[in-house]
Chain A
Amino acid sequence: MEISSHDNLVNIDGNIKSISDFQNIKNTMDSIAAKHKKLVVNINDSISITSSVIGYFNKLILKDNIDLELNVASKQLIELFDDLSLTAAFKVRSI
């Protein structure tokens, strides 16, 4: 997985799978959240997501009051967010 960012926009390429993927996402997004109250994340390839990333997104929204938007390319991942009742909370949109 590779992650890059510009202002409050985060791009995630490849599959989100491992603990190190979670750490990369957290480190990148923590530093952006320190400056911005709104974060937009493009998940360009991943077909799944780990529970640790879900937990982290939850914390950003519910504790840190970050306005989070997820733009997701994979239909499979969009379905997963829907199955897990996370579409509304994470403002999931298809790209």
Chain B
Amino acid sequence: MTLQQTKLGINKKLKKYQDKEEYNSYQEELGFAKELNILRNDFYYKMIEKDSSWLVDFLYRPLDIMSGDAYTAREIDEHRTFYLVIDGMGKGLSASLTAMLMSAFINHLIDKMKTHDSFDLNILIRESLEYIQPILLEEEALAIDYILINNYFLSMEYAKFSMPAMLLQSNNNDIIRIKSNNPPMNKYKKEYVTSTYNVSNISKFLFYSDGLVENETCINERLYGDFIQEDFANSFTKEDLREKIFEKIKAQEDDLTLIFINKLPSFDNKAHKKEFSSSLEAVEDASEWYEKKFENLSQNSEARTQANLVFTELFMNAYEHGNLGIDSSSKNLLIQDDKYIDKLIELSLNCNKKIFVQLNIIEYANNNYMVTKISDEGEGFDTQILSTIFRNGQTFNGRGVFVSRKNSLGIYYNSKGNSVLYIHKI
């Protein structure tokens, strides 16, 4: 074989590997996109508004592209919310298949139950157990949390199958650990139990998979499980907790999934409130007012810059999309035709709707947080569309919300989508 032939052979092989790698990475991308379709989150950028506002946040970081973890958060009805965390045995494809099949099946059942107004936690557990048992391998164990919170009866009904203890924080800042009440799901055992816990005194919840607590940290090679209680107690938002986790863990060793729910203290008498008309001048006035308020409340210049940016974006949304009712595609067309500002002025003339702004300072674990709420009198929107928008970075729509999310500790819409709240540490 000549040198030329050898080189040709090597190049051919390299091309083959390259093609295979590209093909695999393409398949993984498709797989992950499907995985995200299977996970259902009814609280995407949403808060639960009852007597108080509840903020529901998630952290989902698969180790491989295909995750052995899965989560789901569903709004069952006016009073009940359902949370599911699944941790398939081991890592990789088999764990991922089990977690995704189970997640898809449970969500399908919930959809059916919601359609017939017949949600029943016990039927859900029994049916999903029956469904997964023939699929599980002989030595496979499936850890799973079924959690139903009822805001009317202030109760939490749960079946935990070998998941790490969930953490609850009481209004007195006590941390309560709730252990599993069932061994892991497996091919053989059909019996299970559910338990109920009174949550009338609870202000924070944390549900998570074992990847989090079994991860080694930089601190004397201790596991993160040694720190989770204290970090949870000192975290006001999921972002606070996320920062604390990644400060400590050396390198991610397993899929990480958590659901963080916290009750926001009500806007009290000390809250700063102001209402604005729907006009371009009011947009300017509101920005100036907000900037001054923030300046008086905090010396943190970085937080101030970020908060001002978020305020401008979300106040503008309340004005143009909310009160004036201009949808994104019309806005794009108007901008293209250079008629956007004229249209805003024209629509503002006949618009009596107001925009309400509230600012509140919350002290938590030696930190101060500024909570800003902007509400309009428009028709609102379905925040689920944001999930599609954010997955496709190319799209122009929703960029303001995306920027706002990046520059705050989280943004949360009410169920109607005409009121948004965001948080900064100041």
Contacts and interface: CB of A to CB of B under 8 A. Distances in A.
Interface of A: 19, 26, 47-48, 50-52, 54-56, 58-59, 62-63, 76, 82-86, 89
B160 interface: yes
B183 A85 contact: yes
A69 to B, nearest CB: 16
22 contacts: A51-B90, A52-B89, A52-B90, A54-B89, A55-B89, A55-B139, A55-B141, A58-B139, A58-B141, A58-B188, A59-B186, A62-B186, A62-B187, A62-B189, A63-B138, A63-B187, A83-B177, A84-B163, A84-B183, A85-B161, A85-B162, A85-B180
B229 to A, nearest CB: 12
A50 B90 CA distance: 8
Contacts of A86: 162, 183-184
A54 B162 contact: yes
B223 interface: yes
B13 interface: no
A62 B359 CA distance: 58
Query: Lowest 8 A-B CB distances belong to which pairs?
Result: A55-B141, A62-B188, A85-B180, A84-B162, A51-B89, A59-B139, A55-B139, A83-B179
B320 interface: no
A55 B184 contact: yes
B186 A58 contact: yes
A54 B184 contact: yes
Nearest to A52: B90
Interface string B379-410: 00000000000000000000000000000000
Given A50-B90, A52-B139, A83 B183 contact: no
Interface of B: 87, 89-90, 138-141, 143, 160-165, 177, 179-184, 186-189, 210, 214, 223, 225
Given A55-B139, A62-B188, A85-B160, A48 B180 contact: no
B186 A84 contact: no
Interface of A is mostly: helix
A86 B183 CA distance: 6
A68 B181 CA distance: 20
Given A58-B139, A83-B179, A48 B187 contact: no
A82 B90 contact: no
Instruction: Name the residue in A19, A63, A83 with the highest tally of chain B Cβ atoms < 10 Å from its Cβ.
Output: A83
A89 B182 CA distance: 10
A62 B63 CA distance: 31
Nearest to B140: A55
Given A59-B186, A59-B187, A84-B143, 12 more contacts: A48-B223, A54-B89, A54-B184, A55-B139, A55-B141, A62-B186, A63-B188, A84-B163, A84-B180, A84-B183, A85-B162, A89-B183
Contact of B210 (A51, A63, A85): A51
Given A84-B163, A85-B162, A55 B223 contact: no
A46 to B, nearest CB: 12
A26 B179 CA distance: 28
A62 B162 CA distance: 16
A23 to B, nearest CB: 11
A82 B183 CA distance: 10
A85 to B, nearest CB: 4
A86 B164 CA distance: 12
